[in-house]
Structure 1
Amino acid sequence: MAALAHGGMGRRIAYYRRLRRMTQQQLADAACVALGTVRKVERGERGVSDATLEVIAEALGVEPAQLRADREPAHTRVHAALPALSAAIATYDIPDDGPLRPLHELRRAIAQAVEWRLAAQYTRLAAGLPDLLAQLARAFHRSPETEKPDLAALMVTAYRCADAIAYKFGARDLSARLIELMRWVVREADDPVLSAAVAYVRTETFLAARAHTAGLRTLEQAIDAAPRPRAAEEIAARGALHMRAAVIAGRARDASSAVLHLGEARRLADRVDEDIYRGTAFGPDSVRIHEVSVAVSLGDEHVGRALEVAGEWEPPADLPAERRSGFYIELARAQLWSGRADDAFESLKAARHIAPQHTREHPWVREDAATLRRLKRADSEALTNFAEWCAAI
């Protein structure tokens, strides 16, 4: 029988292996398959036959269907708005006729959109963005040359807001199109710091494709091209790229590169007093959150570091809600792998409290909630309610 599609299956196998606290060698021995097979499957480099899937599932103590099928997210108003977003960017170069809004009004509208994005208020964002994107395209193509750099910068920011919706709600093709539009229009802005922010966002395409090595190479090229870190915004731009490089190196299981980039991010964070925002938040607190993310990405013996960070620190309330909720989602996974089911559930509830829409759409939340519900029978009603809320059951 033909090998099964392996896009998400390798991630699920690695997830359950770590949940069982097994090494790749131990899984290979228990399933009577080659160690190289386990490694390639987890990295998504090869498919899995029905026979191999069955022995791996048996070794992990789960049903093959749990490794084979992804949970579908619940349909929401944000999902319903995705076609309108797609239509709005289809005419980026030939916008429809209509009134032109003054530049100061467009700035105010974009500032509101950024506020909603950072607060993970995706429903509000999705409702207003299609019309705003059309207005920006119209203004960009009809305004005098002297205003084009400012309008280009606003378009980059607007596309970034739209991409936050597309990527987090699973519309990966739409996300890739938006990123390409960011790369196109940022050239008109003539802003190296903004270009660095676009390079940061571009990594989503590599994460979605699990092309981690290529993504790391692209980020390192962006670091080389970034402005020298003198002013605060330049420090933040370069530091954010190092943070992202550490995460994608972790996904590639390249521990040495992850440690190197995380160290550079810490060094740059020491030069700013607090987290600042220029396309993405950067500073000492954001670096700590990324340290947890890197530890979870590397897995196995690195997971303990995520628990150490969380044991001595928690993200302050002035950080973007999207980033704070992500911290607790990552922490929950580390706690679950470490046998701390109660703590994992508390972390998931904390993420929900901070950013409900972000938490509900996160695939790890659905997966971990379903696992917690199977592992625990005490307080099963609360777990069931949570799992139903995030479409894990």
Structure 2
Amino acid sequence: MRPKLTQQQLAEASCVALGTIRKIERGERGVSDSTLEAIADALGIDPARLCSDRESVQTRVHDALPVLSAAIAAYDVPDDGPVRPLHELREVVDAAVSWRLAARYTRIARELPDLLAELARGYHQAPAAEQAELAGLLVRAYRAADAVAYKFGARDLSARLVDLMRWAAPAADDPLLAASVAYVRTETFFAARAHTPGLRALEHALDAVPAPATAPEIAARGALHMRAAVIAGRARDTGAAAGHLDEARALADQVSEDVYCGTAFGPDSVRIHEVSVSVSLGDEHVSRALDVAGEWKPPRDLPAERRSGFYIELARAQLWSGLADDAFESLKVARHIAPQHTREHPWVREDAGTLRRLKRADAETLSNFAEWCAAT
């Protein structure tokens, strides 16, 4: 978050009129989604942290899902309309990827339907020389949209978006992009609790990914191993989970922590997945998650979605280990990092509900948190 700004500095940084800033702060006028996003961008924070209405973010995203569904329904017969030049489309898709990594789901839900329709028009109208790049942009944009669908529980819409990624990826003629689609496809196996088939699908994807020579190739293979380790953990296949985690760790040691083909990979990401695998395996493995957290915390330059996920997984390990107060602190940290991601995570709802039942006489803050995330 940026240092404290004066009203004048905030107005200049957000390109919002000073009078508007003053009226918003005095509560004399409401704030539109676009103004909220501009102010949040200027402050360097998630817009959800500026919303006093706890229902507003969730409602806006859910209201946008039918529009998103309509946009992808016409993927092969898009409406006529303008298409921006390739360099402009690259920039806006890059922005959508950054929103996904920062868990800015409201913005994705608002911006992506029109962008997906435009990209579909561009792909179907483009000369052959440009179609591969446009297909790649479509895959990345579909993935950003899928983050909203999956995180907000629209599983059928998420599955359709994954199918569209798989449809567009071959036209992009990029094996690393195909590997990233295989990574995302695992969501459908998680949702169906089909963990063993999901592990098999990732192992097939590993067979197809290029040999790890360059940093992006190393990261693509490493990300698939990370994902395979987690789903092997959910399948309670201890040997496969450990083997894939070892492979991911060895590959991570060869590259710097960064975002490759839309997926964060490197030594820090592997540590986070080690916690996830430990929680997935449960029982005596949970202590390993506490050991990792005892000696390491995710750095601030990791994507917000990944950092908040670490604390959500850690909270579950702490709760299972009888550390209720620590678990609540971890959930609060996750909320601070990425409010939208944290609120929509089913484990947060379950664990906040458990904490409220365990600590009936506890302070108001726990009840407020449980109500905020609609705890079960």
* Category of TM-score, reference length = shorter chain: 0.7 to 0.9
Contact 2:97-2:262 at 8 Å conserved across structures: no
Pairwise mapping of residues 133-172 of structure 1 onto structure 2 (< 5 A)? Answer: 133-172=116-155
Alpha-carbon distance in structure 2 between the residues aligned to 1:391 and 1:92: 35
Contact 2:257-2:264 at 8 Å conserved across structures: no
Selected match of 1:197 from 168, 172, 180? 180
Alpha-carbon distance in structure 1 between the residues aligned to 2:296 and 2:83: 48
Task: Determine whether 1:374 maps to 2:357.
Answer: yes
State the shift of 1:274 in Å: 2.5
Task: Determine whether 1:126 maps to 2:109.
Answer: yes
**Which residue identity does 2:139 align to in structure 1?**
V
Contact 1:194-1:279 at 8 Å conserved across structures: no
- Matched with 2:206 is 223
Alpha-carbon distance in structure 2 between the residues aligned to 1:75 and 1:268: 38
- Matched with 1:207 is 190
Alpha-carbon distance in structure 2 between the residues aligned to 1:274 and 1:89: 33
Deviations 1:239-295, CA, capped at 9 Å, x for gaps: 000000000000000000000000000000010132343221110000000000000
Pairwise mapping of residues 1-393 of structure 1 onto structure 2 (< 5 A)? Answer: 75-377=58-360, 379-392=362-375
State the shift of 1:369 in Å: 0.6
Alpha-carbon distance in structure 1 between the residues aligned to 2:199 and 2:95: 32
Deviations 1:283-341, CA, capped at 9 Å, x for gaps: 00000000000000000000000000000000011111000000000000000000000
Equivalent position SS for 1:76: helix
Alpha-carbon distance in structure 1 between the residues aligned to 2:259 and 2:90: 19
What residue ranges of structure 1 are gaps of 5+ in the alignment?
A: 1-73
Alpha-carbon distance in structure 1 between the residues aligned to 2:258 and 2:190: 25
% identical equivalent positions: 77
State the shift of 1:380 in Å: 2.4
State the shift of 1:344 in Å: 0.2
Deviations 1:351-389, CA, capped at 9 Å, x for gaps: 000000000000110111111111114542010010111
Give the TM-score taking structure 1 as reference length: 0.80
Contact 2:195-2:234 at 8 Å conserved across structures: yes
Alpha-carbon distance in structure 1 between the residues aligned to 2:135 and 2:258: 25
Equivalent position SS for 1:139: helix
Contact 2:176-2:220 at 8 Å conserved across structures: yes
Contact 1:369-1:392 at 8 Å conserved across structures: yes
Alpha-carbon distance in structure 2 between the residues aligned to 1:274 and 1:96: 41
- Matched with 1:28 is none
What residue ranges of structure 2 are gaps of 5+ in the alignment?
A: 1-56
State the shift of 1:392 in Å: 1.2
Deviations 1:62-85, CA, capped at 9 Å, x for gaps: xxxxxxxxxxxx952111110001
State the shift of 1:391 in Å: 0.9
**Which residue identity does 2:284 align to in structure 1?**
E
**Which residue identity does 1:129 align to in structure 2?**
L
Give the TM-score taking structure 2 as reference length: 0.84
State the shift of 1:101 in Å: 1.1
Alpha-carbon distance in structure 1 between the residues aligned to 2:145 and 2:167: 16
Q: Report which structure shows greater RCO (CA 8 Å, sep ≥6).
A: 1
Alpha-carbon distance in structure 1 between the residues aligned to 2:331 and 2:292: 17
Alpha-carbon distance in structure 1 between the residues aligned to 2:139 and 2:368: 39
State the shift of 1:91 in Å: 0.6
Equivalent position SS for 2:342: helix
Equivalent position SS for 2:313: helix
Contact 1:243-1:262 at 8 Å conserved across structures: yes
Q: Which stretches of structure 1, 4 residues or more, deviate above 2 A after TM superposition?
A: 273-277, 377-380
Alpha-carbon distance in structure 2 between the residues aligned to 1:273 and 1:183: 28
Alpha-carbon distance in structure 2 between the residues aligned to 1:215 and 1:353: 32
**Which residue identity does 1:123 align to in structure 2?**
T
**Which residue identity does 1:274 align to in structure 2?**
E
Alpha-carbon distance in structure 1 between the residues aligned to 2:331 and 2:230: 21
**Which residue identity does 1:336 align to in structure 2?**
L
